Amino acid sequence: MRNAIFALSLLASPALASGLQIEIEGEGANGVVTIDLLDDVAPKHVAQIKALAADGKYDGVVFHRVIEGFMAQTGDVQFGKMGGDMRRAGMGGSDLSDLPAEFSDVPFDRGVVGMARSQNPDSANSQFFIMFNQGHFLNGQYTVVGRVTDGMDVVDTIKRGQGQSGSVTGKPDVMTKVTVTD
């Protein structure tokens, strides 16, 4: 009976929240951003992000595509490292497999974090973006993985890119350290 009660208490316990703490430095942003990862919404994507962060793969990765009023994109662990060939930033991923889409009904509002991908919905790998404003046209098209819970003022100051592509020229802002929080 005691084992049954223990098992029931485990089932009734809320899932532990996990997240990321991102230290950002650069010409624009300087500070810390905290993201609540939505394990229940996109478990495969969140697991991949956490694995990459725990391995230090995101440390030193730049914000390579930043579009005013839309979003800031980062996470290219292959070509997006500070000091690398920035012309290729945004074209890479990680040595982990691409992920099948995990679309949800969570809307792309200000502060929502989504996974970047190519035209193939099942091509998300390591890159992600943070919304400056709502972008509901992305709903059901991209996987939502989290929400900024602290540091949106830091996100708002990330160095913007040029033109419609939002490619950042010169010295982009960089994620100096990305830590998994549980």
Q: What is the pTM of this model?
A: 0.89
Q: Which two tokens stand for residue 118?
A: 């190519």
Please give the CATH number for the structural domain made up of 17-181: 2.40.100.10
pLDDT at 115 over 70: yes
- The one-character DSSP state at 79 is T
Structure-token match 């969140």, residue found: 46
- What residue ranges do the domains of the chain occupy? 17-181
Q: How confident is the model at residue 182 (pLDDT cuts 50, 70, 90)?
A: confident
pLDDT in tens, 127-157: 999 999 999 999 999 999 999 999 999 999 9
- Pair 98, 80: CB distance under 8 Å: no
- Cα→Cα distances 62→14, 93, 116, 146, 179, Å: 35, 13, 15, 19, 16
